[in-house]
Structure 1
Amino acid sequence: MHHSPRAYAIAVATSAIVVLAIAAISGPGDPADCTGPGCPPHTAEASPSSSPTPSGTTPVPAAPGNGDVRPGAGSFDAPAGGHANGAPPSADATADAERPAGPRDPLRQPFASDSIWNTPIGSGAAYRRVYLRAEPGVTLDVNTFAHPDRAGSYRAYTLRGPDGGAYDADGVTYGGRCTGTTDLGPVLFPRGTVVGDSVVAPTYSTPGNATAVVYPDGRTLLQLRSMARCDADSEPHGHRATEADLYGDGTYGGHTGSGLSSVGGQLAPGELTGAAPIAHALQLSVWAQKYLAYDPGAERPGFRWPADRNDADAANVYCTLDPCRSAPDRRLKMGALLAVDPSLSASDLRLRNPAAMKIFQALKDFGGYVVDDTYGPTNQLGIDAAAVAEIDQDDPGWARDVRVIFNHLSLVDNNGPDRIGGGGTPRVTRPAPLPAPATTPKELGRAGWVASAFRNGEDAGRVLDADAATGWRAAVPLADGQWFQVDLGAKRAFNRLTLDAEAFPYDYAQELDVLVSADGRRWTRVTRAGGARSGAVTFPRQTARFVRLVAVGDGIDPHQTWSIGDLRLWRNDAVSFR
């Protein structure tokens, strides 16, 4: 199957781990630790070495790295300075934790109160026990979250596609992300922010390196995946995921395995050490080979709402080890909302570690979304890099308690767009609304616009009818070079494009080139956008009459086609690439 440069990002860096300071620590050797009511029956698979291994598959090592670890890979070392739970946090953590009290801060807890990340579990939640087991590893998905309060000055850079090819392990190519010449368009990036590459020594590891950057307008969130920036002020290399708005729903982003947000649900500075409860859903990652189902005949083969994708190699990886291989749970897929059954208490599970008990309560009140595959025997939690030092990852009590918590997670089976958290009365009060944003992009009126497309052009105008449930459908497999075009009727000024395909389960282009023209004959490529069911991209201001979107590459699998329910253009005067 032909792929665009995105194929390297998905096929090699499948787990979208946002990394600046990287931590991956294996816990002690009691992976089947489970006490109290509700414990599932344990099997002899407590150790990876006793798990069935499909013929021709290299056994996964006992201590996988943080993130996308392929067979033969190991783990990262813990970051320097990361010590005890409740220990003095890092400088960034202190600055964030000491923000003045007042209205909810979108840089600390982003997105709308009714987003998936900020909606509590409801009394109508239907809990379904799943076969998750306590894996020997307890690791952290460490998010790089750069914003004006941390990042200092920004400048415009050209995002480059990473070359890859630094080294090979078991026939898979890793590394080399800090080089590459493919022009993926301009981005604003903090001058001093560095994001590490894949590593060879002391062990192989290939983090997804999804990265989130708040633009200087205080709301536009650039999200990148499979990226690296090895030197301060050098060009960043990676692939663009869809942008988000810190004041919006924040569903989609740079987690490659699910398409979910890079920073929604991350553990923020002060949340594991302070007295206040964690008031949002969490980011969770599990070992897809053992736990996540893949149904090739389903419209969403390896994922469920709110995820909009599964890993590119899911058909060959998901559900190839027991317990999933022997008796797949078709409902446990990428994007699943997992939660602690409300009948369980911390004392039932004999939890003792203070930080783990806060995780337990958050998973009872809000749950956590499966955002990625760990590719090895570990359970993972998403965390802001500035909060890593607040956890003593060497504490066996922390590792033991987190393993027990994962062992007691249930699936909220009726989670959906109209019943986030299962519906009913929320267990706890949802976070307060955000204050009014300081800046508001201006939408261009669509009167007189005319749309056309490479196929089914007679339906293209439905993209402009203000009803996102109608829209245009290509109704053929996604392929490189497919196009959709809008004639604005006259030259207009704009620097942001948004697409909505929420009404179509798996119908969006993985990557899109955005082109503009004054006359419909001579075209200028503006940027390359990352796709999602709700996609957005900001670029330098253009003045043009025609806008054309061209698909780059094909889909993750043959199920994927291209549809657009709604297309809008905006002018955001608070973002400049000058």
Structure 2
Amino acid sequence: MKLFSILRNRKFRLRTFAVMMSIALTIILTNTSASSQTPTTRDPWLWPFSVTSIWNMPIGSGARYIPANIQKAGWFGVDREYFYKLKASDPSRLVYSPGSWTKRCSGTNSMNISLRVPDSLIVPDATLNPYSTPNNASAFLQPDGKTLVQLEPLARCEKGGPIYGWRYFPDLSLYGEGIGGAHFGSGLSSIGGSIRKGELTNDQPIRHAIKLLFWGKKYYYYSSSRPGYRWPADRADSVASTSYQGTNYAFVQGTLLAIPPSVTESSLQLQTPGGKKLFRVLQNYGGYVVDDAGWDAHYMAVEQGVTEEFKAKYGYDFENWTGAFYDDVMKLYKALNIVDNNSPTTIGGGGSTRRAPLAPALPPSP
């Protein structure tokens, strides 16, 4: 009887253990499935623009890929962008055009608009030593909850003082297509396609196209028949005719780049969580060329604060010239191809299917 009791207890414990493991596995699988499910709603401020916007449309099965021949760069960095939701209770401050690219807070020409911003808001001017002239593309959501005012390069040097930046016109709706904006090298959006805070550190995929910058002297093409840009861009840099010296006719401002479906995380031997997340967004949505890096660097456009939270999460810098994450990112850039049939009627290359589900519909506009 004693032996039988021992065996029975052992069987009970084993059965209990198996049940508990099954429950735990079910919870894990459920949570994993839930974390990857497509949302049914979205916050227009955090995930803006229409379902059919270039920023929200996944790559299509009809995409025609051609080589981009992007090489390793000496530096990987970010093009920081600044986004603000304005409150009617904040003071109204005038906006002026920058005095110059290097002395932005010296401008005196009005941009014919005032913005309600807190007096504490400061965005530093450019500096010559060390040399730093960031684009500082920016977007201000007006208190009406839908109107976007876009400026570049944003600067505000004094608390309570005026704001500086060239204004993109016309203002756009957060609920519209969202193509145009204050990336004045291309005329593309300041806020559409930006990697937002939380997107590199949470457990969700990035569900929109991103924005990329390369060295125009090395990569961007210019000729009379293709003057440095293509749809959806509506312009190139003012010095494009002399500064763009690339030889690939398809590689210009507005070009959509993506990683072909034949390439995998395994084939690239990616090592880092950040590298793998960027791989997925570049394969499923791609990235648009929006400005000139100006030197031997590859940039991605991110919301101010992204690099700080990235380092806090992973323990290493997003911007770098060495290390495992830098190596991963360089592999991604080298794997990029041009989606040469991206057009107003075939966004992302068109086709019968998409590499990711479409964005959920926006709530009604205010």
Give the alignment's TM-score, normalised by structure 1: 0.53
* Aligned partners of 1:136 and 1:403 also within 8 Å: no
Separation of aligned partners in 1, 2:187 and 2:355: 27
Gaps spanning 5+ residues in structure 1: where? 1-100, 165-173, 440-578
| 1:130 alignment partner, one of 50, 68, 78 | 68
Query: 1:371: how far off?
Result: 0.5
SS in 2 for 1:119: coil
1:160 aligns with 2:96: yes
Task: Name 1:262's counterpart in structure 2.
Answer: 190
Separation of aligned partners in 2, 1:207 and 1:140: 10
Query: 1:207: how far off?
Result: 1.4
SS in 1 for 2:282: helix
Structure having the larger proportion of residues in helix: 2
Query: 1:427: how far off?
Result: 1.0
SS in 2 for 1:110: coil
Q: 1:432 to 1:102 in 2, by over 3 A?
A: closer
Query: 1:158: how far off?
Result: 2.0
SS in 2 for 1:363: helix
Task: Name 1:175's counterpart in structure 2.
Answer: 102
1:287 aligns with 2:215: yes
* Aligned partners of 1:112 and 1:433 also within 8 Å: yes
1:360 aligns with 2:287: no
Give the AA of the match of 2:96. R
* Aligned partners of 1:227 and 1:238 also within 8 Å: yes
SS in 2 for 1:389: helix
Give the AA of the match of 2:275. A
Q: Deviations over 1:30-62 (max 9, x none)?
A: xxxxxxxxxxxxxxxxxxxxxxxxxxxxxxxxx
SS in 2 for 1:178: helix
> RMSD over aligned Cα, in angstroms?
1.6
Separation of aligned partners in 1, 2:273 and 2:61: 27
Query: 1:270: how far off?
Result: 1.6
* Aligned partners of 1:257 and 1:310 also within 8 Å: yes
SS in 2 for 1:285: strand
Task: Name 1:301's counterpart in structure 2.
Answer: 227
Gaps spanning 5+ residues in structure 2: where? 1-38, 311-315
Deviating more after overlay: 188-197 vs 402-411: 188-197
1:140 aligns with 2:75: no
Report percent identity of matched pairs: 39
Task: Name 1:382's counterpart in structure 2.
Answer: 301
Task: Name 1:250's counterpart in structure 2.
Answer: 178
* Aligned partners of 2:88 and 2:143 also within 8 Å: no
Separation of aligned partners in 1, 2:108 and 2:240: 29
Query: 1:428: how far off?
Result: 1.0
Query: 1:155: how far off?
Result: 2.9
Give the AA of the match of 1:125. A
Task: Name 1:116's counterpart in structure 2.
Answer: 54
Q: Deviations over 1:398-433 (max 9, x none)?
A: 111111111110000000000000001111101111
Separation of aligned partners in 1, 2:74 and 2:184: 24
Q: Deviations over 1:516-566 (max 9, x none)?
A: xxxxxxxxxxxxxxxxxxxxxxxxxxxxxxxxxxxxxxxxxxxxxxxxxxx
Give the alignment's TM-score, normalised by structure 2: 0.83
Query: 1:273: how far off?
Result: 1.4
Task: Name 1:401's counterpart in structure 2.
Answer: 328
Separation of aligned partners in 1, 2:330 and 2:58: 23
Give the alignment of 1:197-276 within 5 angstroms. Answer: 197-201=125-129, 203-242=130-169, 243-276=171-204
Task: Name 2:7's counterpart in structure 1.
Answer: none
Query: 1:388: how far off?
Result: 2.1
* Aligned partners of 1:142 and 1:388 also within 8 Å: no
